[in-house]
Amino acid sequence: MTTMSCRRHSCFISVVLLLLVLVVVVPSSVAIDSILSRFQQYLQIDTSHPSPNYHQAADFILSQAKSLSLESQTLEFVKNKPLILLKWTGKNPHLPSILLNSHTDVVPVEPHKWSHPPFDAAINHQNGNIYARGSQDMKCVGLQYLEAIRKLKDSNFEPLRTIYISFVPDEEIGGHDGAEKFAKSKIFDEMNVGIMLDEGLASPEDNYRLFYAERCPMWLVIKATGAPGHGAKLYDNTAMENLLKSIESVRRFRASQFDLVKAGLKAEGEVVSVNMVFLKAGTPSPTGFVMNLQPSEAQAGFDIRVPPIADQASLERRIAEEWAPASRNMTFEFKQKVSVYDENGKPIMTGHDSSNPWWSLLEAAILEANGKIGKPEIFPASTDARYFRLRGIPAIGFSPMANTPILLHDHNEFLNKEEYLKGIDVYVSILKAFASFVEAEKDTAAFRDEL
């Protein structure tokens, strides 16, 4: 009997415990499911180039904005390339605002090379990975901004500063019809942006990565000319020989830069990268190329990326004097050349120490949310952040993805659901800090008044 009643007793306790567990756990797991399902919905919209479904993405974002009671407007700097701008007005709308930027487009896929269909956004139930194009670059960030705002609104947080959230088109094809036009617009001027956040990169380590600048592309084509002649004749100054001398010189420079990275002396974003991307020479024949003729022209193309800490002017001299010297009958042109300097001749970089209060706030907010941070970095390629830095706006590249292999633009791009959820809490912490920030300049004003 006693045993029996005891069993019944413990049974009763178990039921009560189970009910408690259900009451406590179920609502939050429902909340998590809906957070993940919103991310999946966004990933399922195929916004890959060359024909991104921008309108469907815009409709989705606008529906999210409505559910969050954010103001919204759709800007079309170029027809059928909508840019969605959302706004959460702060208690002091005169203070410089915060801009959270993300791009809605993604790069194309080769679906047959994926283990999971790239626009299904299925969650692998063994490991919790969400496989989809855009899961890292950068639909994660765009929706994490919104989920962080949802949490802040649920907790009745009121921002002091106005928060803008922009969803821009075309980043993956240069951003000229998206962020570039936006950053130069009157609408942007009126937003009075004090700090903007844009994309970063995943980190295979347990630290997050923060980017304060980016390398600028210089797409160089060098062309050699020389006397044509019989394929059997040894003579000087052929186009091929002239070009090969340059290629050897470029290769030595490339190796010297790469050695600095290999030796751990510099990070990837801190050196000049040079990669040969095409070679064009030879006299075509019906079966390939004429084999007994040395051609009179030869060309090579290079993708060069220059960090703003490098001396771009001296690199240009090197190109003119060593890589394409007129003395060797060579010419060169840039298919694209982005200056590392702003209009005042200063390298385009965002302050990445205590001289920039936003940087300090960001670091503290990430640590507060139990995140770790690596050394500040220069983004090795280009992002939309450059258009905002050019306008003198502090811009920081950050995608909260630690313990994640770098798979942007790769097959089987994924983000683990736990990393995604953690990133939302990191943005909650950042937005609280940014939106509440009052600059010390008030004291200076008071001081001035006293004088």
Which residues of the shown chain bind ligand NAG in the complex (CB under 6 A)? 226, 237, 242, 328-329
**Which of the listed partners (ligand NAG, Zn ion, none) does 138 bind, with a CB threshold of 5 to 8 Å by partner kind?**
Zn ion
- For 297-315, the DSSP string reads EEEEEEEEEE-TTS-HHHH
Nearest-approach distance from CB 266 to ligand NAG, in angstroms = 35
Toward ligand NAG, which CB reaches closer, 140 or 239?
A: 239
- Asked if residue 40 lies in contact with residue 424, where contact means CB atoms within 8 angstroms, the answer is no
Q: What 3 state SS string does 324-390 have?
A: CCHHHCEEEEEEEECCCECCCCCECCCCCCCCCHHHHHHHHHHHHCCCEECCCEEECCCCCHHHHHH
Nearest-approach distance from CB 325 to ligand NAG, in angstroms = 9
Nearest-approach distance from CB 85 to Zn ion, in angstroms = 19
Q: Does the annotation count 171 as an active-site position?
A: yes
Nearest-approach distance from CB 228 to ligand NAG, in angstroms = 10
Toward ligand NAG, which CB reaches closer, 92 or 237?
A: 237
Among the listed residues 147, 171, 198, 363, the single catalytic one is 171
By the criterion CB under 5 A, which residues form the site for Zn ion?
137-138, 199
Nearest-approach distance from CB 371 to ligand NAG, in angstroms = 58
CB atoms near residue 356 (< 10 Å): 16
**Which of the listed partners (Zn ion, ligand NAG, none) does 328 bind, with a CB threshold of 5 to 8 Å by partner kind?**
ligand NAG
Which residue's beta carbon is nearest to the bound ligand NAG? 237
**Which of the listed partners (ligand NAG, Zn ion, none) does 87 bind, with a CB threshold of 5 to 8 Å by partner kind?**
none
3-state SS class at 193 = strand
Cis ω before 50 (30° cut-off from 0): yes
3-state SS class at 190 = helix
Which class for 146: exposed (0-12), middle (13-18), buried (19 or more C-beta within 10 A)?
buried
Toward ligand NAG, which CB reaches closer, 237 or 336?
A: 237
**Which of the listed partners (ligand NAG, Zn ion, none) does 310 bind, with a CB threshold of 5 to 8 Å by partner kind?**
none
Toward ligand NAG, which CB reaches closer, 237 or 444?
A: 237
CA pair distance 137, 45, nearest whole angstrom:
14
User: Residue 144: which region, alpha, beta or left (left: phi > 0; alpha: psi -120 to 50)?
Assistant: alpha
Q: Which contiguous run of DSSP H or E holds residue 72? A: strand 71-75
DSSP 172: G
- Asked if residue 331 lies in contact with residue 324, where contact means CB atoms within 8 angstroms, the answer is yes
- Please name the residues in contact with 235: beta carbons below 8 A apart, sequence gap of 6 or more: 227, 229
**Which of the listed partners (ligand NAG, Zn ion, none) does 137 bind, with a CB threshold of 5 to 8 Å by partner kind?**
Zn ion
Q: Which two structure tokens, joined as six digits, stand for 320?
A: 């003119």
Toward Zn ion, which CB reaches closer, 332 or 387?
A: 387
Among the listed residues 105, 177, 377, 413, the single catalytic one is 105
Nearest-approach distance from CB 83 to Zn ion, in angstroms = 15
Which residue's beta carbon is nearest to the bound Zn ion? 137
CB atoms near residue 437 (< 10 Å): 17
**Which of the listed partners (ligand NAG, Zn ion, none) does 226 bind, with a CB threshold of 5 to 8 Å by partner kind?**
ligand NAG
Toward Zn ion, which CB reaches closer, 199 or 268?
A: 199
Toward ligand NAG, which CB reaches closer, 215 or 328?
A: 328
Torsion of the alpha carbons at 257, 260, 263 and 267, rounded to the nearest 10: -110
Nearest-approach distance from CB 236 to ligand NAG, in angstroms = 7
**Which of the listed partners (ligand NAG, Zn ion, none) does 144 bind, with a CB threshold of 5 to 8 Å by partner kind?**
none
- Asked if residue 141 lies in contact with residue 68, where contact means CB atoms within 8 angstroms, the answer is no
The rounded radius of gyration (Å) of the Cα atoms in the chain is 27
The catalytic site residues sit at 105, 171
